[in-house]
Every structure is written in structure tokens, then in C-alpha cells.
Structure 1
Amino acid sequence: MRSYTAIVERCPDTGFYVGFIPGFPGAHTQAETLDELNQNLREVVEMLLEDGEPILEAEFIGTQNVVVA
């Protein structure tokens, strides 16, 4: 079983949640709820993995808060 980190944002125009997996080509989707988004992301990744293990373009390291004056 593999685990991937997804970035989740909310679209200000539609209110939909938008998720993507950094560095994983094609691994992105949207949904009205976070549960639906998680399910959609799982389905997208499973579909993409049918073509074989991807060569990730980047590795997720983390997030940082940037404080400016």
C-alpha cells in the first residue's frame, strides 16, 4: 500500500475543494466535500497506477508559514 500527500485548496468562485498530489502527473481532482475529494483522489491515483508506477516529478517535503511585516 502506498501513501501520497495531497494539497487541498478551496476554489473561491465555486466553493469546491481542489486536490492534487505534487509531482504526480495527472493526479488532481475536485469535489464538493473533503470526503468526496479523498475518494476522487484515490480513484484517480488507482487509475494512473494501472499504467505502472510513476516517476514522480517532485517529492513533497512540507509546508512553511512565511511572516512578512
Structure 2
Amino acid sequence: MHVTAILSHADEGGFTAFNPETGTATQGETLDEALANLREAVELYLEEFPMATRAAPFVTSFDVAVHA
């Protein structure tokens, strides 16, 4: 199953990882560790709450104006 991983720098160091399809979140000291932790968390989630297989998600980004 193909799912989405959103990784970002954590304020306290390391990285946070989030899967929007399941709402699962975790962290790690490196990108690889955060992604591995997220994979494990999503797999555990899906054991308990199976999801139907669907097409790959479409992920994009966009800019917004920032006012000081």
C-alpha cells in the first residue's frame, strides 16, 4: 500500500513524521529514523484499522503570503 509521509524539522531537534491517511505521527533523530518509525507506526495502525487500497495520494505544496 502506498501512503504519504510528511517529514519536517522538529523544534527540539531531529524530525517529526506524519501520515495524513491514518493520522499517525512519530519522530526520529534522523530522516531515516523518523521514516522507519512512521512506517512501523502506520503498519501497527493498519493491523487494527485496515484501510481499503486506493490510488496513490497526490501531494503538492504552495506558497502563502506572510505578514509581519
Alpha-carbon shift at residue 50 of structure 1 (Å) = 0.8
After the TM superposition, list the runs of 4 or more consecutive aligned residues in structure 1 that deviate by more than 4 angstroms: none
Structure 1 gaps of 5+ residues are none
TM-score by length of 2: 0.72
2:16 counterpart SS class? strand
TM-score by length of 1: 0.71
Structure 2 gaps of 5+ residues are none
Percent identity reads 38
Contact residue 19 and residue 42 of structure 2 kept, 8 A: no
Distance 1:5 1:67 in 2: 26
- Could you tell me which residue of structure 2 aligns to residue 17 of structure 1? 15
Contact residue 3 and residue 21 of structure 2 kept, 8 A: no
- Could you tell me which residue of structure 2 aligns to residue 54 of structure 1? 51
For 1:39, give the aligned amino acid.
A
- Could you tell me which residue of structure 2 aligns to residue 66 of structure 1? 64
Distance 2:58 2:22 in 1: 10
